[in-house]
A and B are shown apart, each in its own frame.
Chain A
Amino acid sequence: MNIIVKEKGKHLVIKVVGRIDTSNYEVFSNELQVLIDEGKKFFVMDLKELDYISSSGLRIFLKVLKALRAIEGDVVLCCLNDKIKSVFEMSGFLSLFNIADNIDSIED
């Protein structure tokens, strides 16, 4: 798994490439926590190149969403490919998040 972080106005665009699974969900969680600790509140998760996510990975998304909304921030899921969108949908997680089709549609 690779994480590529870019700023877009008030948002932090976090592109996740590869898999979030049993072997690396903790690393993913820790990296996001570092960004929260740095004071970042508005995450855009670019999931276009995310191939697979396990239950532990889904829980991290929920954990981050709770943490950011508690400080009046938010998480937007962006650029979901069909496979990952299906997983989020079947697990009921999709309806918790704001969704964007592409990065450009997100206001700075």
Chain B
Amino acid sequence: MTLNFLNIPEEIYLLSIDENGDQHNSLRNENFDLIISAALLMDLALLHRIDSDQTYIFTDKTESIGDTLLDGVLDEIVEYNNNRRIENWISYLSIHGQFFRDEIITSLVRKSVLKIENKKVLWFFSKRKYPRVDNTELEEVRARIRNLIFGQELPDERDIVIVSILYNSNLLDVVFTKDEVNKYEARLSQIAKMDFIGQAIGEVLKAYNLSIFSSFIKTTSAEEMLEEHVKSLKKKFRVTNDDNLPNWIRKGTKQYEETLNYVREVGTAEITFNPRMKKYSKINYSYYQSAFGE
């Protein structure tokens, strides 16, 4: 099978952004990382690099594809050299989420589908168009999926993958109106089932969002959130004596109170403090390492 102009993650990304390049609300978080991980696996399956059944992923051909993202994931799967459950691969790969996002945008800019202007990602052409490739107009993926669902044609395997991701990730609204989703629910559901990795993403997202919700329920006060965060930092940097903690996270200091106030203000304990600038900000792991002298 020849490489398509866009890989599946790129198509999903394009579906998830509006005319101004802004991303769908429900994707501005780690959900996107999980969805893209699944999309990468599904693309590898279409390219016969992996196979699956209802439970596991298996390696198939291992030759390089010539796509940075896909080859990177393929290398990891080949190196693992053992069967792993689909949902575990999705979760595991999602730790590379930021890298995936950056690579997708870089690639789409290189392919002149998107452009960067004043640090904003925009469509290259003003009306959600793809450039011509070899004098062929590429039908935009949204139009293609709509035609599939509204018709009775047997689905193409690539479109099965797209529909499966959208359906199982609750993203149908990027292509269909609510009324259309209701009207064509049976066809959407039937096609969405046709990919086992797509089915798995639904379960993974449910479990992930439940765990986020649970941790939110467990630690709602600023004190609890900050305590949990300090605990994880102490574990990460192997600090056993609280006297070795910086003032801003050492209980009993005046600055600890200021830290608490900041946590209350931003609603999260995933923060850091720059002692030189005397400024709090959202998390920056590279700073933590220098704060502990590592």
Seen from chain A, the residues whose Cβ lies within 8 Å of a Cβ on chain B are: 21-22, 25, 52-56, 58-59, 62-63, 65-66, 69, 87, 90-93, 95-96
Given the interface contacts A22-B58, A66-B154, does A56 sit within 8 Å of B51 by beta carbon? yes
A91 lies within 8 A of B193 (CB): yes
The verdict on A22 contacting B54 (CB below 8 Å), with A55-B195, A92-B191 known, is no
Binary interface encoding of chain B residues 139-163 relative to chain A, with 1 for a CB under 8 A from any of its CBs, else 0: 0000000000000001101000000
Q: Are B58 and A92 in contact (CB under 8 A)?
A: no
- The interface bits of chain B over 52-75 (1 if a CB of A lies within 8 angstroms of the residue's CB, else 0) are 111000111000000000000000
- A22 → chain B, closest Cβ, in Å? 4
Closest B residue, CB atoms, query A66: B154
A54 near B52: Cβ-Cβ < 8 Å: yes
Contact check, B190 vs A56: say whether CB atoms are below 8 A apart.
no
CA distance A91 to B190 in the complex (A): 8
- 5 further A-B contacts with Cβ under 8 Å, apart from A54-B58, A63-B157, are A55-B51, A55-B53, A55-B197, A56-B48, A90-B54
> How many interface residues does chain B have, given as a range?
20 to 34
B224 to chain A, nearest CB (A): 42
Q: How far is the CB of A31 from chain B (nearest CB, A)?
A: 17
A62 to B161, CA, bound (A): 14
Cα A62 to Cα B191 with chains together (Å): 12
Q: Which residue in chain B gives the minimum CB-CB distance to A25?
A: B51
Residues in B with CB closer than 8 Å to A59 are: 157
Nearest CB to that of B60 among chain A residues? Answer: A22
Contact B52 A55 (CB under 8 A): yes
Closest to B53 in A: A54
* Chain A minimum-CB-distance residue to B50: A22
Nearest residue in A to B190 (C-beta to C-beta)? A92
A21 to B191, CA, bound (A): 22
Contact call B60/A96, Cβ cutoff below 8 A: no
- Does B45 have its Cβ within 8 Å of any Cβ on chain A? yes
Q: A54–B193 contact, CB under 8 A?
A: no
Complex CA gap A63/B155 in Å reads 10
A contact residues around B52 at 8 Å (CB): 54-55
- For B191, the chain A residues whose CB sits under 8 A away are 92
B176 within 8 A of A: no
A16 to chain B, nearest CB (A): 16
Smallest CB–CB gap between B163 and chain A, Å? 11
Nearest chain A CB to B127's CB is how many angstroms away?
32
Contact of B60 with A90 in the complex, beta carbons under 8 Å? no
* Closest chain B CB from A42 CB (angstroms): 17
B194 close to A (CB within 8 Å): yes
CB-defined contacts of B51 to chain A, threshold 8 Å: 21-22, 25, 54-56
